[in-house]
Amino acid sequence: MSPKDLLEFQPSLAEWFERVGQTERAHELRHEDNTRTERFRELLKVITIPCDVPMVVGAEALREKSGPVAEYFESFGQEPCAIRLVPKRSGLPKLRSRGLFLNDCFKSWFLEQKISDPDYDAEIYRHSNNHAWSTIFVVGEQGVTGEIIAGQHNQLTSGEMKTSPYHFWYNFTDLSFVPAAPPAAIDWVVKLLRFITIPEIAAREALQEKLKAKFYKNILGGYFEAVVWDTGEIFFIDYNRLLGDTIQGGIGADQGAIESRGSWRGSRAQGGVVRGIARVLKPEDLGTAIFNLGDVLVAFNTDVRFLPFMQKAGAIVTEQGGILSHAAIVAREYKKPCLVGVAGLLQAVKNGDTVEVDADRGIIKVL
């Protein structure tokens, strides 16, 4: 999927929920997303954590390149960047661009946006197009659950994988990976967890007061995204308090392509057992696809174009995707059995096959 298509068809999680009619939930998530920088600033007052704190200026100041903005462009104009335009009032969309050099992003993207400058703040982030490792994980009552993958972090949020992720669990005693992860991946996960483990009672109390933070065995609770640049620099790029326990229950992964003849294994995004007719869907065929209530949605990956079919599906199974991708999170909200990362799925399952999805065991079987 091209960068343009990713922005259009793999939007923010708040936009996913908005498109399925969960307006209140979308509003909560959008507010949480728009106040991310403030949360990181509060964290930095209490703990040492390498987080993605941007330069924040009004859109007017960015357009004029006045004062500190001019100095920032002088220092980082020829480096990759990300710019987010964050609305100051409700009802306006968040806008974003990333991966371009700062000077190019300003000229070819920011100046083309049809906005009223007083309505927006601009957040300017240093960016890297070369991530050694990227991870998404949640910390809740059950422990820590997540995925780490070599390369860019949007593979995990979009499910557009170039390599296979390593799933990991930490039950507050043991840390395990499926499949077995290389030492570098294990080391990075351990380092990330150390950053958000806060044994000092006074520090935890301060964050509980300022951020209404939750803690589990001294580990800061919530949903986290983090990246390791190829330079070795670590950045936490998201800390969301609304997600966590709500998306942690029921997910899991196993390893192995085929359990028995006619069965294929994937990673569980939402448990449950369903039998139904497989409907193999491709983006170019969605306008004419036959799909009945309770059919099993089978696809290479899903994005917002698939939402009408996800709502009608009895179960959802994809060849790509991650257990914490936006599509998987939405499937979990629907309480639909969902498997992702089923290797060879589209070769194994044909349109019209009768299948059984045993998401509790991570298996899809052609009957």
Residues 6+ apart with CB under 8 A from 31: none
251 within 8 A of 320, measured Cβ to Cβ: no
Residue 75 has what pLDDT?
A: 92
Residue 261 has what pLDDT?
A: 58
Domain finish residue from 70, 102, 126:
126
Domain finish residue from 83, 104, 126:
126
Residue 257 has what pLDDT?
A: 44
- 41, part of any domain: yes
Residue 13 has what pLDDT?
A: 75
Q: How many domains are contained in the chain?
A: 3
Average pLDDT over residues 122-130: 87
- 258, part of any domain: no
Residue 333 has what pLDDT?
A: 79
User: Which residue has 């570098």 as its token pair?
Assistant: 184
Q: Is residue 253 pLDDT above 60, yes or no?
A: no
243 and 137 in a common domain = yes
Domain finish residue from 126, 153, 175:
126
Q: Is residue 348 pLDDT above 70, yes or no?
A: yes
225 and 159 in a common domain = yes
233 and 276 in a common domain = no
- 308, part of any domain: yes
pLDDT digits (tens, 9 = 90+) for 220-244: 999 999 999 998 999 999 999 987 6
Q: Between the CA atoms of 179, 185, 189 and 190, what dihedral angle is there, to the nearest 10 degrees? A: 110
Which secondary-structure segment (H or E) carries 340? strand 338-340
Q: Is residue 190 pLDDT above 50, yes or no?
A: yes
Beta strands in 105-243 (DSSP E): 120-126, 131-140, 143-150, 166-170, 175-178, 215-216, 219-220, 222-229, 234-240
- 104, part of any domain: yes
139 and 116 in a common domain = no
pLDDT digits (tens, 9 = 90+) for 150-162: 998 888 877 777 8
- Looking up residue 302, the CATH number of its domain turns out to be 3.50.30.10
Rounded to two decimals, the pTM is 0.83
The confidence band for 61, taking pLDDT boundaries of 50, 70 and 90, is: very high
Range of the domain at 299: 263-366
Residue 256 has what pLDDT?
A: 45
- 203, part of any domain: yes
Residue 2 has what pLDDT?
A: 55
Average pLDDT over residues 324-351: 84
The confidence band for 258, taking pLDDT boundaries of 50, 70 and 90, is: very low
Q: Count of H helices and E strands in the chain?
A: 14, 20
Share of the chain above pLDDT 70, in %: 92
Residue 254 has what pLDDT?
A: 52
The confidence band for 344, taking pLDDT boundaries of 50, 70 and 90, is: confident
Instruction: Kindly report the average pLDDT of the chain as a whole number.
Output: 87
User: Which residue has 């300003």 as its token pair?
Assistant: 106
Share of the chain above pLDDT 90, in %: 55
Burial (Cβ within 10 Å: 0-12, 13-18, ≥19) of residue 231: exposed
pLDDT digits (tens, 9 = 90+) for 62-118: 999 988 999 999 999 999 888 999 999 888 888 888 778 999 999 999 999 999 999
- Looking up residue 148, the CATH number of its domain turns out to be 3.30.470
